[in-house]
Amino acid sequence: MIIRRALGKFVRWCTKPPVVEYGALGENSIVHTPNILDETSKNIFIGNNTTILPNSRIQLFPDRGNRNARITIGNGCFITYNVTFLGGDDITIEDNVLIASNVLITSENHSIDPESNIPYMDQPLITAPVVIGEGSWLGEKAIILPGVTLGKKCVIGAGSVVTKNVPDYCIVAGNPAKIIKKYNFNNHQWERV
Ligand SMILES: CC(C)(COP(=O)(O)OP(=O)(O)OC[C@H]1O[C@@H](n2cnc3c(N)ncnc32)[C@H](O)[C@@H]1OP(=O)(O)O)[C@@H](O)C(=O)NCCC(=O)NCCS
């Protein structure tokens, strides 16, 4: 009996998920499980009233990227299913951002020296911070690549691959993403570019 109990305790200890401690998880914010997080979650800072739906992978790579990198998600964001944030450098998501399912935001690339004996997966990371501007909406399956800053209230079309900065109040679409519309505050319309 005692042995069975001790064995049970040991198995539970071996199989228990790692304790996830965020740098901050604000009031009324929730990160649904299952998700992939690890000990780097201490550099993830989430504001108030933000929701992240299941199957997210949110990770930093301090050993191989910018050691002090943070992932910061603001207040009032709604981040849906299966999103991936790979933080070799800072990723900053400002307030009230909507992110649809299957979106990738990455602030890292692998070095790709084909003459090295080191496989690409182990070569050093090349990193550059990413910023998603306040109130923006990222459509389904959008991809945001390292070094990109999206301005305020941008819209990223479904399936777009964003390789360059996007100014405030623009809609971009395609691969590579191009500006298709810009908001005109004089006539209060989105206008084709
Ligand atoms: C980007 C988006 C908002 C633009 O909508 P819109 O302003 O009504 O755009 P339009 O339909 O007027 O299209 C303008 C042009 O952009 C093209 N376009 C629109 N969305 C595109 C996209 N995602 N990828 C590539 N091209 C796109 C259109 O084909 C059209 O091209 P054309 O001028 O050659 O005819 C919308 O198309 C989109 O992708 N929404 C995301 C939907 C989504 O992910 N929903 C999940 C809910 S959270």
Residue 2 has pLDDT above 70, yes or no: no
The one-letter code for the residue type at 151 is: G
Please report where in the chains the tokens 């690890």 appear, as a residue. 38
pTM of the model: 0.92
At 65, the pLDDT band (50, 70, 90 cuts) reads confident
Q: Looking at residue 101, what is its pLDDT?
A: 98
Tens digit of pLDDT for each residue in 4-55? 676 666 665 555 555 679 999 999 999 999 999 888 999 999 999 999 999 9
How far apart (Å, rounded) are the C-alpha atoms in residues 92 and 189?
28
How far apart (Å, rounded) are the C-alpha atoms in residues 183 and 193?
10
Q: Looking at residue 15, what is its pLDDT?
A: 56
Fold classification of 20-192 is UDP N-Acetylglucosamine Acyltransferase; domain 1 (2.160.10)
- How many A from CA of 149 to the centre of ligand 1? 20
Out of 77, 80, 144, 180, give the residue to mutate to test ligand 1, the one with the largest number of ligand atoms within 8 Å of its CB. Answer: 180
At 182, the pLDDT band (50, 70, 90 cuts) reads very high
Tens digit of pLDDT for each residue in 128-167? 999 999 999 999 999 999 999 999 999 999 999 999 999 9
SS (H, E, C) the chain: CHHHHHHHHHHHHHHCCCCCCCCEECCCCEECCCCECCHHHHHEEECCCCEECCCCEEEECCCCCCCCCCEEECCCCEECCCCEEEECCCEEECCCCEECCCCEEECEEECCCCCCCCCHHHCCEEECCEEECCCCEECCCCEECCCCEECCCCEECCCCEECCCECCCEEEECCCCEEEEEEECCCCEEEEC
- How many A from CA of 160 to the centre of ligand 1? 10
Active site residue 188: no
